[in-house]
Homo-oligomer: A and B are copies of this chain.
Amino acid sequence: MSKHKYFKAFAAYAGCNVVLAVAAAALCAFIAPAAAGSGIPEVKAYLNGIDAYSILAPSTLFVKIFGSILGVSAGFVVGKEGPMVHTGACIANLLGQGGSRKYHLTWTWLRYFKNDRDRRDMITCGAAAGVAAAFRAPVGGVLFALEEAASWWRSALLWRTFFTTAVVAIVLRAFIQYCNTGKCGLFGEGGLIMYDVSSAKTTYSGSDILAVIFLGTIGGILGSIYNYFVDKVLRTYSIINERGAAFKILLVIIISCLTSCCSFGLPWFAKCIACPTDLTVSCPTVGESGNYKSFQCSSGYYNDLASLFLNTNDDAIRNLFSTSTTKEFHISSLFIFFGAVYCLGIITYGIAIPSGLFIPVILAGACYGRLVGRLFESMSTLDTGLFALLGAASFLGGTMRMTVSLCIILLELTNDLQLLPLVMLVLLISKTVADNFNKGVYDQILKIKGLPYMEAHAEPYMRHLVARDVITGPLVTFSGIEKVGNILHALKTTGHNGFPVIDEPPLSGPPELCGIVLRSHLLVLLKRKNFSRDRVVTGDDILQRFAAFDFAKAGSGKGIKLEDLDIEEEEMEMYVDLHPITNSSPYTVVETMSLAKAAILFRQLGLRHMCVVPKSQGRPPIVGILTRHDFMPEHILGLNPHVMPDK
């Protein structure tokens, strides 16, 4: 073939990639910007109690599915796993909201899920189902939801996620069986085990363990460096992306071209290798996927680098994990591929397409592991395919910092129970090493996005502060029977979602805290206009005029809004009894309570509002209300600079 044809081929290849990439980027930029990226940090934030708008909206779902398909097709070094977790969570959210009114998908029976806790449970199950489907790893899905996604965990939830992923496994199994007949492409390939390495022998000795410890240590360091650069690149990209949709798409085009150049250009550096003779598969490969791509080589030869670059990410991983094929890839080829994938993975995450982190990390890790396996060839008897698996484990441990769930996911991916002790060892070492340098990649992304994530533990400096120290702003309170005008004014002028209700004389003796009332409930009450001319207690009878589900938590953006109210001037002077809708058992802390203890109470119980009451008598019955934002380090340290942590 002439050189000319290769340029033509490159043009076609790069052109297709750019078109697909632009399509994905356009979907993201114009329809749902929230669909960009992995989605796992967003799900994690939602399950922590952050109700950010559009994270789980139907439009995000749509873009996530199609954007992910387009993005993976465009040849980027991105995975579909993170987006599948987000997709699962979005579907769960749609069900949890009782369908979407905007898109005319509503089911009445789903209204039973219209409260925070059940919806959160649904979304946890959705995330678990996403992992279960992505890796064909049902138990791994449960553990992922437990270890990484969920902030609160109950045994009932364990049971529910287990049920969800069992259904996923059974459905998946049925599809695979149906597709094994050849009716639906590559779906059935590999069965439930995507990268089977169980055929390799798994005896190992002391020197193997030393090699594995080395692998884990360096893998942990490389993983934390990966995190460091992802962080830097994300901060840079977010500046570019903020400038508008055009910039977003431009960035995607640049990265796409770069990826195409690497994929098509770098294989030229590899020498042609003669096909091994004892093969059961054809060499060079015929058709799309396979171990032996011919590229520029003549018949009977293959280009090992092309087998990695010009393949789907899934097949590249399968090639790297393949056992009993020690010499298949040259050390130099592995080195080039590792460098390229490591860098491309870093610069690709953050562009405006749905992009998972699992596959790039596994790809780089597997390549790194195979490289180490080749280097230790003389002193270790372990198969290079198993080294690739352990390398992937070390990278995953080093970037994502999970343990049990990664262990089980890798187990379910590769069917190598005998190797379990080594996988555990590698994960432990790489996580421990990497934890010395920085935080897990998802925690970093959460921080860059500025989401107010509540950590499970209180920071040490909180022990030197008390609850009173972090209260800010004027407190807006209502009386037990309040003037409609006052309520409307408070709703208009503040953004608070919870207001303390105080009983004052003549309803009680000295003023006392009656409870807390939510903005959404106030809106429902005002909408019905059950007002009275005087300060009278209407009592709980008023609740009978409402249906049981009127106060249920509406779907995002679907509740009654302040603008929906139509209160006339004369009604402004009337009164409304707030007692029926007041939560009379709010969680309270005394103002002198240690802030660390208050934070633990807030976090463990999953609160949204916490009342701070005075210690001494004879003062107003409430000092302030603490919300999630009051526990954020920036807020606390801004108010109390003297407790600044040492480091």
Which residues of A come within 8 Å of B, CB atoms? 138-139, 142-143, 146-147, 153-156, 158-159, 162-163, 165-166, 169-170, 172-173, 177, 191-193, 198, 203, 403-404, 407-408, 411-412, 415, 417-418, 420-421, 424-425, 427-428, 431, 456-457, 466, 508-510, 512-513, 584-585, 587-590, 592-594, 597, 600-601, 604-605, 615-618
Contacts and interface: CB of A to CB of B under 8 A. Distances in A.
Contacts of A418: 191-193, 415
Given A159-B403, A170-B421, 17 more contacts: A139-B407, A142-B404, A143-B404, A154-B456, A158-B404, A162-B427, A166-B421, A166-B425, A411-B417, A412-B420, A508-B616, A509-B616, A512-B616, A513-B590, A584-B594, A585-B597, A588-B590
Contacts of A403: 158-159, 162
- Give the most central of A424, A601, A616: most B CB within 10 Å: A424
Contact of A605 (B192, B411, B601): B601
Contacts of A407: 139, 162
A143 B604 CA distance: 21
A162 B143 CA distance: 13
Nearest to A585: B594
Contacts of A617: 510, 512, 617-618
Each complex incorporates copies of this chain amounting to: 2
Given A162-B424, A585-B597, A615-B512, A147 B155 contact: yes
Nearest to A415: B417
A509 B616 CA distance: 8
Contacts of A139: 404, 407-408, 411, 420, 424
A513 to B, nearest CB: 8
Contacts of A158: 147, 403-404
Contacts of A425: 166, 170
Q: 9 nearest interchain CB pairs?
A: A166-B424, A585-B594, A169-B421, A162-B403, A617-B617, A604-B604, A585-B593, A173-B421, A585-B597
26 contacts: A139-B411, A139-B420, A154-B456, A156-B457, A159-B403, A162-B403, A162-B407, A162-B428, A169-B421, A170-B421, A170-B424, A170-B425, A177-B203, A192-B417, A192-B418, A466-B585, A508-B616, A584-B594, A585-B590, A585-B593, A585-B594, A585-B597, A588-B588, A600-B605, A601-B605, A605-B605
B153 A421 contact: no
B169 A420 contact: yes
Nearest to A595: B585
B510 A616 contact: yes
B420 A417 contact: no
Contacts of A427: 162
Contact of A587 (B166, B404, B424, B601): B601
Given A162-B403, A512-B616, A616-B509, A138 B605 contact: no
A601 B177 CA distance: 49
A274 to B, nearest CB: 36
A425 B604 CA distance: 33
Contacts of A590: 513, 585, 588
Contacts of A466: 585
A76 to B, nearest CB: 31
A417 B193 CA distance: 8
B421 A412 contact: no
Contact of A592 (B162, B165, B584): B584
A587 B592 contact: no
Contacts of A594: 584-585
B424 A169 contact: yes
Nearest to A206: B174
- Give the most central of A146, A431, A510: most B CB within 10 Å: A146
A415 B420 CA distance: 11
- Give the most central of A159, A170, A510: most B CB within 10 Å: A159
A418 to B, nearest CB: 6
Contacts of A508: 616
Contacts of A404: 139, 142-143, 158, 162
Nearest to A170: B421
Contacts of A163: 428
Nearest to A153: B153
- Give the most central of A153, A203, A412, A600: most B CB within 10 Å: A153
A605 B600 CA distance: 8
A162 B193 CA distance: 24
Contact of A155 (B172, B192, B456): B456
Contacts of A162: 403-404, 407, 424, 427-428
Contacts of A428: 162-163, 166
